[in-house]
Structure 1
Amino acid sequence: MMQQTKRWVVSEAADTDVQKLAEALGVPPILAKLLWRRGIRSTETAQRFLYPGLSGFYDPFLMKDMDKTVERIRRAIDAQEQVMVYGDYDADGATATSILYLALRELGAQVDYYIPDRFSEGYGLNGPAIEQAKEKGYGLVITVDNGISAVEQVALANSLGLDLIVTDHHTPPEVLPDAYAILNPKQPGCTYPDSMLAGVGVVLKLVQALYGRLPDEFLDLAALGTVADLAPLQDENRLITLFGLEKMNESPRMGIKALIEAAGLTEKKITAGHIGFSFGPRINASGRLDSATYAVELLTTEDPVKAGELAQFLEDRNQERQALCETIFEEAAELIEANRHWLDGRVLVVASRGWNEGVIGIVASRIVERYHRPTLVFSISDEKCKASARSIAGFDLYAALTRCADLLDHYGGHKMAAGLSLQEDRLDELRARLNEIAAEVLTEADMTPALDIDMEVDLRDVDLRLVEQIQALAPFGFGNPSPRFAVRGLALESTRVVGKDAAHLQLRVRQNGRQLDCIAFRRSEEQHLLDALASIDLAGELAVNEWRGRQSLQMVLGDWRPSPLQSFDSRGCRDKFAWLEVRKEELTVLCFQKNNVEEIEKRLFGYPWNEGKYRLYHVELSGEWRHVAGEDEPTENVVYYDLPAHIETFVNSLQALIPTQRIHFIQGDSDQNWLRQAMFDGLPEREAFAYVFRVLRQQGQGTVEQLLSVMQGPLNPVSLTHILKVFTELGFANHQDDTYYVIMDAPKRALTESQHYQEQEKRVQALKHVGDLLLSASSDTMRQWLAEHMAVRA
């Protein structure tokens, strides 16, 4: 797989507004900009975000039907009526079931829980389970994380004389079930301030209303379900997660402690990331491969032995799930590659017999990650198809399925994820219909994954202290992502593959004397692409890497791209001809000095083994390239072979470059010698002027050749001619024909009074500027200088 192109979307914010917010809060401008980026733009909301407290939780009775729900549950408790908590088999449903079961038991209710089997019963309420509940004597059924679409099933319960309360968070259909009460902040007429609670969040509010206080003892379970269900970590969800994580770290309940040990995180501080990537998958594995009842047992037990056994059971199931997902994903990808015409559309519908329907949602997510298209993955059995669907930004999956409802037996979900079932013979029509809908709403830009970037920074702006300041915005997750930064024009120092399965890529980059280590997870196959580059732009999240008790700054890579300018620093080259000869790629060689042009043409051209390998150009004083030898079409790799006399010549030579070309600098010892000699020839040291004058006084007269014959030292015809011309302008000598005559009684004058001396001084300064940049400057300085001049040119 080649690197997937992404659109970098850099957030913009008014500098003056950000500065005002920073001053009002007393925080660094970077932190203020990150708050602004999250829509937190007033001092009051920013302080609530930065300094959250338990008082930030809303009154649960603001939720529609909360009064009715609490009244009915209390009546059931008082009458010792049997109550069933009807759950769901994912992490949200399992944690919601656990909280409500534990809370009702604490209140003295006769309560039990029931979770439908994913494979034999499917998602949500089902008729046989309701009938069974009635037969077993239950008088009240409370759904958690499901039920909002169960119109027929609730009607059945009503006909049986069974009261049913729905607690859910999924998008309500147009027709709501006729339940005794419905708790769902998304339902029409509900004015609860936070409509984005997960199913477990809705249950937490119900328990808060029943207890008459915030049930902080259940915040750990609520956090687990909230993060695992990808509820946006904003508003109340953020408070649930923040304080739930505190409880997990300070005094984890028995089941969560066993999960921590099974996941190998005993010595770690638990974060939202651990929930999303470690705990959530293990809880979900129970419902995907067996029964979610095991997960509820783990989360509700107080027996350490039983907790350990259940956690290990879920660990084993999770490993099975991972292997199963990998197999199905590979099969699904092969199907897509074998039917490449599917990629001409904007929705992928992939189906096969025998796929485990418990893991097809994960497979759908991975396909979206690879192909960036809304994806439905179907498992076919007995001519009936069940699917999990995942979407991309810009495509409302639930709305699209609603427009296809006539084809479906069942569906439910929200914008980004859904579940559905239909008859096998309707698959092709569903694929066609969904692609028609997608063509209406998805643009070409939507089909390229966007990478949201909070801001661009210089490497000098980032350090461990900044990472510490950023933690004030945590916990991070869906809806409150870890801040992402872009850094451009980084020198790529090294790459290496790491990890026990060699899946990850580690980079080291440099800018302005600062180094940064980066890790790119599951991207080792991109190493060869990076190794061909000199500089890159990076986008990623800053983190602290701990190794053997030492902390260092690290970037977790989200994306990379080649910098517009690729300049390779091979200066210090001792044998430039050898450098040219060993290169395998075709080269365009640029020379400023005619003698080098002639030597290169003589040594590299006219030999069969070099046929087509080199193009030679002489860069004239104007900076224009004059073709000398080889094909007259520059190659991708351009080599600056020697030095110009003026930096302007070099700057002007950049005009002929195109952004895709790679520039190599190979100036070395010979160029250092040339520069030193050119500077001396142009303007020798003052001691040389004094020495020449003494010799001229002694000789009285002489040509350049005659004077050199009696002199000692490094002077040559060029340098001596410049000195004698200065003497002539200052009245120290006369020049007739080729002979210079000393003027013995000439008055003293400063060398700088000579026009020629001033001109030569400028030429030498120009040469010094050339040396400072093209010979002496660091790679970082040179790259930055080039980037600035190339940007001006563009």
Structure 2
Amino acid sequence: MSVLQLRRRESRGAPAGWPDSVHPVLRQVYAARGVLEPAQVEHRLARMLSPQLLGGMAPAVELLVEAIRDDWSILIAGDYDCDGATGTAVAVRGLRLLGAKRVDYAIPNRFVHGYGLSAAFVASMQPTPQLIVTVDNGVASVAGVAAAKARGIKVIVTDHHLPGEQLPACDAMVNPNLAGDGFPSKALAGVGVMFYLLLALRAKLHGQGAFGAAKPDLSPLLDLVALGTVADLVPLDFNNRVLVEAGLQRMRSGHACAGITALVEAGKRSVATLCASDLGFVVGPRLNAAGRLEDMRLGVACLLTDDIAQARHLAGELDAINRERRDLQASMVAEAEVMAAGLGPTDAVGVALFEPSWHAGVVGLVASKLKERLHRPVIAFAPAGIEECGEGSPPFDSGAQEVRTGNTQLRGSARSIPGFHIRDALAAIDARQPGLIERFGGHAMAAGLSLKADDYPRFAAAFDAIARELIEPERLQAVLYTDGELPPGTTTLALARQLRAAGPWGQAFPEPLFDNLFECAGWKVMGEGHLRLQLRDPRDGAVHDAVMFNAYHGQPPPPLLRAAYELTINDWQGRETPRLLLRHIEPA
């Protein structure tokens, strides 16, 4: 296991033009992320990139205009992760707002249809729709689109995954990551692509006089856009931060849809103080659990209902499934850690793990946990266990793929470290050993693949070999970047509030993290394995309340320690106080 090294971020320039109300610490935090002036955090919707810049928009809009005008039956073909579920809800709600009268949705069952618009999924669509619109999938659904076209169905693909060598013969495709697409932000999630398509469609219909003087308001969809964007772990570039901030503002003002409100309640959070991390760690996992273990149609139903009582009932079911997922994940991660320990600390650079009893819907989470602990790229495999074949690039969240012929096939979910493009690595293996990998797809940091069970040993060796070839040794050192020390006297509630409100923080725009030297003035075990500490700052003697989750393993914390921490707010029983949320401690 890699030893974590603390390293401080460097400023990318000199902050300028900030009002006095912005704390100097926050200015330095921004500067370390390349944000040097107030305009770079003015997350107003007016500054969002134009939908007209997104390639493929015109033919997709024209086809939807025709479908609405002629009252076609439209089927939204979603995906079984949070991005796909929120994107499906955005599509259904948005198209209905824009005048479509016959809109329905379908979500593939990962254990029956495989991933995306597979031929098996198309065959299951009864009655036959006149138009399929994919969300968060389809860029690699060559066979699935062909099957739809053979049935006389028009197909619009909306996706954000990287394309393969062959594109499906669909009627229109909107994807910012297609070769030659000039859209400035390549980080849109699937739900973001769908929202952009709806904006362009509204503009077209409005220009044709479809709505009279008042255009339909699409802003009620922004809470769903924010949730899917954060949960899918796409980089929060400026454009995505605009979308997420707008959605969070709707939620905090009490205007979230009934489903999100109920899921926030199920996670015991307050909508009034909701932040991006709550979406990523509380709301998103409850939706994702349905797609991992059961049927994501339950999650989409929760997001589509306007009845708060029904939403709470569905959120309760999702919460129960998520508890089951957590238990299963904990068991699988424990087994994976034992397996990884048997490899030795330097035996594998690219780590592949397989256990016949593992659940195919949870292997992505296992790979993610092991990647964090080993600081190595990890692929976790489980038996596919289905009879039909998925196809194409897997969803970013699950990074997984189902395949044919039941348990003779494995599906793998991959997670990578910075500097090692996992999808490109799989492509390199595929080029060198044709036929070893049956299907693969994904992104730089997450991917999915399928292969025959008998080929697993050969693949594991090939994956380790390509990782050794492409990863420089220094990249195997786990590094935790911080924003440096907080000066004495700045660990205040006022700064904690500014930091919480200053985001949205997330992927590629990380939460502020500080590191200081402390004396441990007291500690106790809290709950099951958590620590509550009193930390004294030796510079001024101030004592700070701190917590660290899953940190107690039978040994007391060091008397003198360096801690990396977030400055957060503890609102126990309605009283707000500053608190340090420790992410890492080490003896000083």
TM-score (norm 2): 0.88
Cα distance, 1:246 vs structure 2:
1.5
> Which residue does 1:522 correspond to in 2?
550
Cα distance, 1:8 vs structure 2:
1.6
> Which residue does 1:151 correspond to in 2?
142
> Which residue does 1:550 correspond to in 2?
575
Instruction: For 1:515, give the aligned amino acid.
Output: V
> Which residue does 1:93 correspond to in 2?
84
Which of 441, 454, 457 is the equivalent residue of 1:412? 441
Cα distance, 1:28 vs structure 2:
4.0
Instruction: For 1:496, give the aligned amino acid.
Output: K
Q: Is the 8 A contact 2:530 2:548 kept in 1?
A: no
Asked whether 1:308 is paired with 2:312, we answer yes
> Which residue does 1:364 correspond to in 2?
367
Cα distance, 1:234 vs structure 2:
2.2
Cα distance, 1:179 vs structure 2:
1.8
Cα distance, 1:333 vs structure 2:
2.0
Which of 410, 414, 417 is the equivalent residue of 1:385? 410
SS class of match (1:299): helix
SS class of match (2:105): strand
Q: Is the 8 A contact 2:191 2:229 kept in 1?
A: yes
> Which residue does 1:635 correspond to in 2?
none
Instruction: For 2:10, give the aligned amino acid.
Output: E
Cα distance, 1:550 vs structure 2:
3.4
Deviates more, 1:517-526 or 1:96-105: 517-526
> Which residue does 2:179 correspond to in 1?
188
Which of 487, 494, 498 is the equivalent residue of 2:522? 494
Distance in 2 of aligned mates of 1:278 and 1:413: 24
Instruction: For 2:459, give the aligned amino acid.
Output: L
Distance in 2 of aligned mates of 1:505 and 1:416: 34
Q: Is the 8 A contact 2:529 2:551 kept in 1?
A: no
After superposition, residues 84-483 of structure 1 pair within 5 angstroms as 84-106=75-97, 107-133=99-125, 136-212=127-203, 215-250=218-253, 251-266=255-270, 269-337=273-341, 339-341=342-344, 343-380=346-383, 381=385, 382-405=407-430, 406=434, 407-483=436-512
- Per-residue deviation, residues 644-671 of structure 1 (Å, max 9, x unmatched): xxxxxxxxxxxxxxxxxxxxxxxxxxxx
Cα distance, 1:504 vs structure 2:
3.5
Distance in 1 of aligned mates of 2:554 and 2:515: 19
CA spacing shift, 1:463–1:526, aligned 2, 3 Å = farther
Q: Is the 8 A contact 1:157 1:164 kept in 2?
A: yes
After superposition, residues 542-621 of structure 1 pair within 5 angstroms as 542-563=567-588
Q: Is the 8 A contact 2:9 2:484 kept in 1?
A: yes
> Which residue does 2:533 correspond to in 1?
506
Q: Is the 8 A contact 1:459 1:487 kept in 2?
A: no
Distance in 2 of aligned mates of 1:23 and 1:77: 48
> Which residue does 1:735 correspond to in 2?
none
Query: 5+ unaligned residues in a row in structure 1: which ranges?
Result: 564-794
SS class of match (1:335): helix
After superposition, residues 734-773 of structure 1 pair within 5 angstroms as none
Distance in 2 of aligned mates of 1:230 and 1:121: 25
Distance in 2 of aligned mates of 1:27 and 1:271: 19
Q: Is the 8 A contact 1:496 1:527 kept in 2?
A: no
Instruction: For 1:509, give the aligned amino acid.
Output: R
Distance in 2 of aligned mates of 1:403 and 1:74: 42
Q: Is the 8 A contact 1:384 1:423 kept in 2?
A: yes
Cα distance, 1:118 vs structure 2:
0.8
Q: Is the 8 A contact 1:496 1:507 kept in 2?
A: no
SS class of match (1:400): helix
Cα distance, 1:30 vs structure 2:
2.4
Instruction: For 1:5, give the aligned amino acid.
Output: V
Distance in 1 of aligned mates of 2:501 and 2:306: 34
Q: Is the 8 A contact 1:223 1:245 kept in 2?
A: yes
Distance in 1 of aligned mates of 2:523 and 2:562: 15
SS class of match (2:553): helix
Distance in 2 of aligned mates of 1:371 and 1:476: 25
SS class of match (2:515): strand
- Per-residue deviation, residues 720-745 of structure 1 (Å, max 9, x unmatched): xxxxxxxxxxxxxxxxxxxxxxxxxx
Cα distance, 1:341 vs structure 2:
4.5
Which of 21, 26, 33 is the equivalent residue of 1:38? 33
Instruction: For 1:218, give the aligned amino acid.
Output: L
> Which residue does 1:5 correspond to in 2?
3
Cα distance, 1:517 vs structure 2:
2.0
TM-score (norm 1): 0.66
Q: Is the 8 A contact 1:505 1:524 kept in 2?
A: no
Matched residues, number: 547
Distance in 2 of aligned mates of 1:109 and 1:211: 15
Distance in 2 of aligned mates of 1:256 and 1:442: 41
Asked whether 1:67 is paired with 2:62, we answer no
Distance in 2 of aligned mates of 1:558 and 1:264: 22
> Which residue does 1:592 correspond to in 2?
none
CA spacing shift, 1:506–1:123, aligned 2, 3 Å = farther
Q: Is the 8 A contact 2:264 2:271 kept in 1?
A: no
Moved over 6 A (4+): none
SS class of match (2:66): helix
Q: Is the 8 A contact 2:422 2:447 kept in 1?
A: yes
Q: Is the 8 A contact 2:351 2:376 kept in 1?
A: yes
Distance in 2 of aligned mates of 1:157 and 1:546: 53
Q: Is the 8 A contact 2:532 2:545 kept in 1?
A: no
CA spacing shift, 1:25–1:428, aligned 2, 3 Å = farther
- For CA contacts below 8 A with separation 6 or more, give which structure has more relative contact order: 2
Cα distance, 1:85 vs structure 2:
0.7
Q: Is the 8 A contact 1:458 1:487 kept in 2?
A: no
> Which residue does 1:692 correspond to in 2?
none
SS class of match (2:571): strand
Question: Is the helix fraction higher in 1 or 2?
Answer: 1
Deviates more, 1:290-299 or 1:261-270: 261-270
CA spacing shift, 1:62–1:306, aligned 2, 3 Å = same
Q: Is the 8 A contact 1:496 1:505 kept in 2?
A: yes
Q: Is the 8 A contact 1:342 1:348 kept in 2?
A: no
SS class of match (1:344): coil
Distance in 2 of aligned mates of 1:181 and 1:290: 31
Cα distance, 1:143 vs structure 2:
0.8
Cα distance, 1:268 vs structure 2:
5.6
| Pair member with larger Rg | 1
Distance in 2 of aligned mates of 1:167 and 1:7: 41
Distance in 2 of aligned mates of 1:313 and 1:371: 34
CA spacing shift, 1:154–1:254, aligned 2, 3 Å = same
SS class of match (1:525): coil
- Per-residue deviation, residues 223-281 of structure 1 (Å, max 9, x unmatched): 11111111222212111111111212222222122212222225762221211111111
Distance in 2 of aligned mates of 1:526 and 1:207: 55
Q: Is the 8 A contact 1:25 1:47 kept in 2?
A: no
Between the aligned residues of both structures, percent identity stands at: 34
**Could you say what the CA RMSD is over the residues aligned between the two structures, in angstroms?**
2.1
Cα distance, 1:121 vs structure 2:
1.5
SS class of match (2:325): helix
Distance in 1 of aligned mates of 2:9 and 2:20: 21
- Per-residue deviation, residues 584-622 of structure 1 (Å, max 9, x unmatched): xxxxxxxxxxxxxxxxxxxxxxxxxxxxxxxxxxxxxxx
Q: Is the 8 A contact 1:141 1:163 kept in 2?
A: yes
